[in-house]
Amino acid sequence: MKFLKAASAALLLSVSFSAYAAPAPAAMMNQMRAAFGGEQLMSLTSARMKLHVLKVGETLPHVVDMHYDLKSRAIEKSETTDEGFMRQQAGSGRGFTYVGDSCSPMEEREEDKLMRSLYGNFLFLLTDSSTIMTPAESTPPASTENAGLAWYNIYRPGWKGMHIGVEEESGLIRGLWFGGETTGQELEYRMVDGVMWPHRFRIFEDGKLTSEGWFTDVSFSRSGQDGIRVPDYCMQLLTPKR
């Protein structure tokens, strides 16, 4: 009798655990793609948006214009600096920075950093065929902002990925985990041209808010004509003369 009771308890425990297990990565990837827009998402070739990041303790946000070339796997970041208007581009094995009429190749470290901004973007991860998603090896520290989410590791081959927390009911990404005590929260999803996009996010360190950001002027293209192009004068400067 004791054995039967123990076996029944073990069975109930197993059923209970299975009921709360995260869905298989392939199934969740399909659900996420549908939630973010389905065909409207998958047909994107590029995206543009203005990113505002405000650190705790500061009064003015840092603002950059981002251009994601999803088709060519390239990225451009533009901002106003003390030196003037600066634009940085990376992708297809090359990267460069130009300020005004001055053009120079990017350092490999800076180029890799910029490419990580592309490879960590939801639009790229969800539309690129090379994206890999696996069950999370572990989950972030318990907190109210990431409770009740299904966690996965998502990445592009050859690049360090990140953990995403997905809301199972909606298929939307609600949480981020970068390892250690650093977590993120995705907020204010709104439909833009048929695609769901989070317009605000928060970053936490050991449960304490360290920065928050928001997006404005979000726009998408499906024409394939809005790709990132190296200015002619920059190509001439970077091309050795014969």
Q: Print burial letters for 154-165: b (CB count within 10 Å at least 16), e (below 16).
A: bbbeeeebbbbb
Tell me how far apart the alpha carbons of residues 73 and 211 are, in angstroms, rounded to a whole number. 28
Tokens 């024409």 -> residue: 223
- Rounded distance between C-alpha atoms, residue 225 and residue 239, angstroms: 25
Q: What is the pLDDT of residue 183?
A: 93
8 A C-beta contact, residue 194 and residue 188:
no
Q: What pLDDT is recorded for position 8?
A: 45
Contacts of 120 (CB under 8 A, 6+ apart): 162
CATH tag for 24-238 (out of 1.10.246, 1.10.357, 2.50.20, 3.30.70):
2.50.20
* Mean pLDDT split into 10-residue runs, the chain, 242 residues: 45 37 92 98 97 97 96 94 88 80 86 92 95 92 83 90 94 93 95 98 94 98 88 62 46
User: What's the CA gap between 48 and 76, in Å, rounded?
Assistant: 9
* Tens of pLDDT, residues 139-178: 888 777 778 899 999 999 888 889 999 999 999 999 999 8
pTM: 0.85
Strands 102-105 and 62-69, by their bridges, are unpaired
